[in-house]
Every structure is written in structure tokens, then in C-alpha cells.
Amino acid sequence: MKKNKEKYLQKFTVYLEYERNVSGNTIIGYNADIREFNGFIDRNKISIKKANHQHVREYLAFLLEKGYKKNTIARKLASLRSFFKYLVKEKVVGKNPLVHVFTPKQEERIPVFLELEEVVELLEIPDRSTLMGLRDAAALEVLYSCGIRVSELVNMDVRNVDFLGRGIKVMGKGEKERLVPIGEKALNCLERYLEKRRETQGEKHALFLNYKAARISTRSISRLLSRYIKLLSIRKRVTPHTLRHTFATHLLNAGCDLRAIQEMLGHVNLSTTQVYTHLTTKRLKKVYDRAHPHA
């Protein structure tokens, strides 16, 4: 029974990677979610072919009892929906048992972002007289200037930057390419960094290198950001993704069109980008309450 489940999961993984062009991190998440469900039905002596909507509901109750948040449960159910949809397509099962299972209403999560003064403080702290300090400054400038994911940043090559046209070519989720504008300050910082490392041996085609002159990792970017945040008076939990949220929030506050922000962020659905409108609406209400005589 377990061998069959693992065989179907391996085939599904190949399908995701080669037919759907799903990113590696997403595939890892799908695998973990499906294996957890497989473990649950194994313990209840249920085969994958016999799993029905009642078993899925029991699994849902099991997840709630374990204390999983609604957002996590929603993600796990989405993984299972895709998996069973594939199994139906391959005629392994007759119907998708998740068709009549509703996803729990998710909690509204407002992204953390930095105020403009906090961003300025952060971008000024790296020591730009050293190669590593200049690299750190350039990486942070690009993350804030372009709103790209940290995975997109570390996978970028020097040739992806158009210094004359002031744009960067980004390879996003699902191997989807997009062109994002880049600010003058970020470009200048990048130029200084690339000039300073000119004599460095190693992966010269990679845009950002670690101290060993190899392509930098997402973990290294997270670590360097954490190190600088600790030196500042910022008490928020700041990650590279925070700079992406900050980019979108600042653009929206300045009157940028939501669809333009969607395109720059590489969101497939506008609803994903619309979370930032909650931030600006909240801020507008605060401004109104402070400023309006009859508020």
C-alpha cells in the first residue's frame, strides 16, 4: 500500500516539474503535505484509491486538533486537490475526493513592511568601502527597488541587468520571465559593486557572490539582513520578503496602479496583490482620524 502511494507521488512530482514547471520549493511543499495525508490514511488502513470526501474531512479534523493554523490547512488541502486532480487525469482514482470539501476561511494576514525612514536607515548601514559591504548594500537596494523575491535575486546573472534601459530581467515562479524597472540608486550601487569585484575569480556571471566567490545563497541574504536589522532600532521581524512587501506598499501609497504592481511582483492573480490595499486603507483611516475635525 505504502509503495503504491510513493510511486504515485513520484510520478506527480515529475509531472509538476516537467509539465507544470513548478518551482523546487513548491514541489518540496507539495511532497510534505501529501506524505502527511498518506501517513494519516495508512494509519487508518485506507488505500489511496479508496480515499473519499469523508476521509478527507476526518483528516481536516485531525489537522485542526493538531493546532494547525487555517492558512496552513488551506495550503495542505490545495496540495491534495492538485494531487488528486492528477490521479483522476491518470485514471488512478475515479473522482477527486476534495470536490465537496470546503477550505476553512483563512485568517487575514497583513504583511509587515518598513516605513520609509526605516528603509533609509537600513540601506545606509552597510560599509560601502569594502567589497562585502558594497555587495550587501547592492543586494538590499535591489530587493527594495525592484520588489523581487530573494530566490529571484540570488539566481540573477550580471547579463540580466540592463544598465542603459534601467531594468532587470527576472525569472519568476514557473519559469515565467518578467522585466522589472530598477531605480537609479540601486543601479549605481550595483555598478560600484561589480567594478570593485572585477578582479575576483569565481562565478563571474552570477550577479551576487559570497566570500568564496561562488553564487550567494538565499540563506546568506537572510543572515546578512538579520545582522543589519540587529544594529538598528527596528523591532519588527524583518526578512528579505519584508522588503518585497515594503516595495509594494510604498508604491501603492504613492498612487501606483495595482495592476502595475501585480506585474512587477510577478503575481498571477490580482487578488494576491490586493492584500496591500488593506495596508493603505488602514493607514488612510489613521490619517483621517488624526486630521479630520469631526472624526
Lay out the sheet containing 177-181: strands in order across: 161-162, 167-171, 177-181
Residues linked to residue 32 through DSSP beta bridges, in sequence order: none
CA 217 to centroid of chain Cα atoms: 15
* Residue 87: partners with Cβ closer than 8 Å, 6 or more residues away: 8, 12, 48, 93, 96
Q: What is the DSSP letter of 216?
A: P
Residues linked to residue 209 through DSSP beta bridges, in sequence order: 215
Q: How far apart (Å, rounded) are the C-alpha atoms in residues 208 and 141?
A: 13
Write the single-letter amino acid at 294: H
* Residue 182: partners with Cβ closer than 8 Å, 6 or more residues away: 142, 145, 146, 161, 166, 167, 168
Residue pair 143/244 in contact (Cβ under 8 Å)? The answer is yes
Report which of 140, 96, 91 is spatially closest to residue 240, judged by C-alpha positions: 140
Cα end-to-end distance, the chain, whole Å: 65
Residue pair 16/27 in contact (Cβ under 8 Å)? The answer is yes
Report the length, in residues, of the chain.
295
Q: Annotated catalytic sites, by residue?
A: 149, 173, 241, 244, 267, 276
